[in-house]
Chains A and B, each alone.
Chain A
Amino acid sequence: MDRGDAIGLRATGRGRRRLVVNRIAELAAVLAAGAAIAVLAILVWSVLSRGAGALSWDFFTKGPALFGQTGGGVAPALVGSLLLVAIGAAIAVPAGVLTAIFVSEFAARRVGDQVRLWLDVLNGFPSIVIGIFVFALCVEVRLPLVGWGRHQSAFAGGFALAIIMLPLVARATMEILALVPNHLREGSYALGVSKWQTVLRVVLPTSFGGILTGTTLAIARAAGETAPLLFTCALAGQATDWNPTHSVSSIPMLIFQNSEAPDENLHQQAWALAFVLIAFILVSSLTARFLLERSRRRLGTAR
């Protein structure tokens, strides 16, 4: 390669090699990002092309078809998912928000760090283990505390989902509480307002948008979780059931069961359900993200 034209503007030898290596590295990075986007596109396209065709009014309003017949809907799964996520949110949101208030408004730093650490540990637990825990807690044994015991139920499933949601809600709330400018709190104290009133009437309203975002993201995550429901709320009947002491059908469980069923119709139903689930999750998390940006910006200008 050495031709002796050392004064040319073209890089040669070592310099040229460095530029080529640089090009290759850049190309690799672009390819990696491209591959990730391509996988998302193929995934969404598969779900869209196979699932959208099966959507109809009956799909949303009817129960499953009788044996051997085609058609039928998934109304029991939609109702069940709604019930499960509502129970989960009803437990996780108050617990998570209160925990976050404790950490950012009351606790000493060391205590707060510990709570944060253990919430992260909880967040890292595999969801199947949480399912097994709830199974062992209130499905397998009867505790006086959980009187619905010894069988699967929407309560048990919702409780499992609540454990998944708790660290998400708590961490999101902590982050937004940390963004509330201190001069708002100090202003409130300077007016002679007590701490609890400051928290309830100044801090919480200011961070409401952020808490709502955290809750929405947690709901989006919980709505798609299957593993916690496997042992707590999996064996359901065919009819639409609003009773939380019964085991109810749910969207992710039905996708899971249909995906392994031999019937072609059930596969298509699974794809359609996947479409509904993805649409719900994407719309709600994008909305949440948008809201978060807005409330962040508002807190930013308030500073």
Chain B
Amino acid sequence: MEARSLSAPAGLRRTRGAGDRAGDALLYGLTALAAAISLLVVAAIVWRVAAGAWPAIRVFHLGFLWHGEWNPVVDKFGARDLIVGTLVTSFGAVLIAGPVSIAIGLFLSELAPPSIRGLIGTLIEMLAAVPSVVVGLWGIYVLAPFDAQHLQPLLGRVFGWIPIFAHGGDQVESTVFSAIVVVAIMIVPITSSICRELFIGVPAELEEGAIGLGATRWEMVKTVIVPSVRGGIVAAVILGLGRALGEAIAVTQVIGNFIPLKLTIFAPGDTLASRIANQYQGAPSNLAVASLIYLALILLAITFITNFLAQRVVKRFERRSARA
């Protein structure tokens, strides 16, 4: 027993010298190669998508971004309405999901009794594991009819004087509004679990200090917790936004795939990702295919910028809290 613990296990003792150097170099080379390939994939995606979009870029140039027509019959394509639709659904979803996620994060970190914290946290994360095609299926047959019969008329009555909430009186199931709700459901688990981690990370002395000075729990949240993790919350919401921008399947199932866009959200619409997904059974011409890939390129650029922004915010936030 004593003697064994002083020498390496039998299998580890054999190689020495040249063999070791070769082994080290081999493993280093192999892992470095894998890392390089992983990074190469990112570059290859950008390059291939840009190259695939090139025929459309040559024909439409940047004007593609602000022309709204999408007409395969005469080979005229433009992305304006799809870009607007993408922004409307994503920001709408974030507007709903952001406050809800922060509230859930606060509930899980400050309010919930410790015995049920883990359970509820797990349940909410399970919502994140539901595939988008299943959320979309549910969206078509359960959520959209409910929206059309109850939610949309109600919102139309209350906010109808604002043009984007104008409700025509018809029960339309496939609407931008349904897509907003579906996407909001999909990003809540992501942002809320990040928020929870942030709130849990706030030092207990700070919270106790606020309570000790006579603050209520809400005042403690408002004056201590939220200000100390503001950057993190922003980053969590931007990450949710990135996910919302790129969601294709669930959106295409409920949004109705229709442009030109109407002014109201209680009408069918379309987004970049949803338009691409909807054309999978084949596009009529090479230019149509290239235009679809052009849409993917725009989507890639938008999500790239949002994710990079989120990273920067997180980085700065981490640096500041490291100094504190």
Contacts and interface: CB of A to CB of B under 8 A. Distances in A.
B52 interface: yes
Given A43-B138, A259-B136, A102 B126 contact: no
Contacts of A194: 15, 20, 23-24
B37 interface: yes
Interface in B290-318: 292-293, 296, 299-300, 303-304, 306-308, 311
B185 interface: yes
- Cβ-closest 3 pairs across A and B: A126-B246, A224-B131, A98-B34
Contacts of A188: 8, 12
A129 interface: yes
A128 B104 contact: no
A274 B31 contact: no
B24 A225 contact: no
Interface string A205-237: 000000000000000110111110011001100
A28 B106 CA distance: 10
Interface stretch (A1-9, A14-22, A62-70, A238-246): A14-22
A125 B307 CA distance: 9
Given A103-B35, A128-B249, A128-B277, 19 more contacts: A22-B216, A33-B107, A36-B127, A36-B188, A37-B124, A40-B126, A42-B142, A43-B127, A121-B308, A125-B45, A127-B248, A129-B45, A133-B45, A136-B293, A191-B8, A196-B24, A227-B277, A278-B131, A286-B122
A204 to B, nearest CB: 11
B133 to A, nearest CB: 4
Contact of B44 (A133, A281, A286): A133
A136 B38 CA distance: 19
B3 to A, nearest CB: 14
B299 A40 contact: no
B164 to A, nearest CB: 23
B210 interface: no
B23 A197 contact: yes
A37 to B, nearest CB: 6
A84 B126 CA distance: 23
Interface string B244-273: 011111000100000000000000000001
Contacts of A226: 131-133, 249
B219 A18 contact: yes
Contacts of B292: 132
Given A274-B134, A277-B134, A196 B299 contact: no
Interface string B33-72: 1110111011011001101100000000000000000000
A119 interface: yes
A99 B34 contact: yes
Which of A96, A170, A200, A231 neighbours the largest number of chain B CB atoms within 10 Å of its CB? Answer: A231
Contacts of B156: none
Contacts of B100: 32, 35-36
B194 interface: no
B204 interface: no
Interface string A234-273: 1100000000000000001001100110000001001100
A130 B248 CA distance: 12
B296 A255 contact: no
A102 B136 contact: no
Contact of A126 (B42, B138, B218, B303): B303
A119 B104 CA distance: 28
Contact of A33 (B99, B104, B299): B104
Contact of A277 (B37, B48, B131, B299): B131
Given A19-B216, A126-B303, A260-B253, A255 B31 contact: no
- Chain A interface size, as a band, is 35 or more
B200 interface: no
Contacts of B33: 98
Interface of B: 7-8, 11-13, 15-16, 20, 23-24, 26-28, 30-35, 37-39, 41-42, 44-45, 48-49, 51-52, 99-101, 103-104, 106-108, 110-112, 120, 122-124, 126-127, 129-138, 140-142, 185, 188-189, 192, 216-219, 221, 239, 242, 245-249, 253, 273, 276-277, 280-281, 289, 292-293, 296, 299-300, 303-304, 306-308, 311
A140 B5 CA distance: 60
Nearest to B22: A196
A25 interface: yes
Contacts of B52: 132, 136, 140
Contact of B38 (A105, A119, A259): A119
A95 B37 contact: yes
Contacts of A178: none
A36 B126 CA distance: 11
A166 interface: yes
A22 B8 contact: no
A281 B131 contact: yes
A39 interface: yes
Given A199-B27, A282-B126, A26 B218 contact: yes
Residue of A30, A136, A231 with most chain B CB atoms under a 10 A cut-off: A136
